[in-house]
Structure 1
């Protein structure tokens, strides 16, 4: 178990880097659910083609498979805020997930409660 991830999740990758065009350090982190059915990514919005500052939380169902799908959950200004939202998402998903048959329902449940409701 990772200290910064809920029990059912592991940190797959975590790194900090400084892009060539700025002196501001950026961070990137991915989490994988113990089932292997869902991956969350907290990364600079610019990595996903966004043209503004901040961090984006994305969720990928069935990562590595042909039927995988990625959704953008939310974009916020700071890494710390995006990490908090990721933690909420992980808790909500884990509380609702009962196996591969319930992945879509658990994903929808967590998404609806953590997305931007503008």
Structure 2
């Protein structure tokens, strides 16, 4: 999967790309929390994650329950766990991560490996 900015540039040059995205089950998609873009984009942890991935906010797409980071999609759920499965990062909310250092540590370990 490539970043949206790179995709746009290739498309402008006439190079067509086809991306296969794995279908998520409706059950998994329904378990994700709805995102408030204005709250997320100003959050320090979110900005730190973008910086660690060498991304800026224009390269990221935020939809109602997904943050598309190009290499993977980030979803928030109610569980107290951090996991990365099939290019889907699932974490508690940013506020919950900030309050629970062990979860934030798990997030950083996943992102740096």
Q: TM-score, normalised to structure 1's length? A: 0.25
Q: Which has the higher contact order (CA 8 A, sep 6+)?
A: 2
Q: Which has the higher helix share?
A: 2
Q: Which has the higher strand share?
A: 1
